[in-house]
Amino acid sequence: MADSRVAILMESDYYEPEIFYYQRRFAEEGIAVDFLTRLWGQPSITFTGHEYRAPFTVSLSLEDVDPADYSVVVVPSGMVSDRLRYTEDVERLAPATDFLLRAFDSPGVVKGIICHGMWLASSIPHVVRGRKVVCHNNLVGDVRNMGAEYVDKDVVIDGDLVTGRSGQHCHLFARTLVDLLVQKGETL
């Protein structure tokens, strides 16, 4: 899938098994992977994982790229989305939430949100309102309050939105994203 590119949003407290899986799994398919974050004016930031405190350096700013340049945008599990939804001005969307909103404005981009990743969409609930989703059990009330229809499955597809239950389901989630890219014709 030489023409496919995946953007994965990153922050501290990431779930290492999930992120390391994506790094290798998408590469196996020939899919380019970019890890994006808010760089706060720095050339790079090194984050630490949740389970093993493993370092992971990101040098691409989500504020400098267009989500429409990607085949897939992934909001991973764990605390990543909670950290990314910080904004200095509560009257403005956080840069990562704005990035996700712009991804939703591009129907050709598959949006992948897994586990607690749905937190990043909490201030833009209209993007999931009326859509079928799954999330971590702790967020079922949140997604229902956002107007989404909770489905009790490990992975749910609703058009250009793919949701996964938890980081432990990252293999099923990634397989679904790869399969969608194949269906879209982004093949070798």
Tell me the helices (H) and strands (E) count for the chain, helix number first.
Answer: 5, 11
The structure tokens listed for 106 are 């591009």
150 strand-pairing partners: 133
Q: Quick check: 49 and 75 in contact, CB under 8 A?
A: no
Q: Quick check: 38 and 96 in contact, CB under 8 A?
A: yes
* pLDDT on residue 45: 98
Please give the model's pTM, rounded to 2 decimal places.
0.96
pLDDT in tens, 37-92: 999 999 999 999 999 999 999 999 999 999 999 999 999 999 999 999 999 999 99
pLDDT in tens, 4-35: 999 999 999 999 999 999 999 999 999 999 99
* Spatial CA neighbour of 47 closest among 5, 82, 10, 83: 10
Helices (H), ranges, the chain:
16-28, 80-84, 95-104, 140-145, 170-183
The predicted model gives 157-170 an average pLDDT of: 98
CA distances from 162 to 43, 116, 126 (A): 31, 14, 16
pLDDT in tens, 88-138: 999 999 999 999 999 999 999 999 999 999 999 999 999 999 999 999 999
Place of tokens 């398919």: 29
Residue 180: its H or E element: helix 170-183
Pick the CATH number of 5-183 from 3.30.70.20, 3.30.70.260, 3.40.50.880, 3.40.30.10: 3.40.50.880
* pLDDT on residue 1: 57
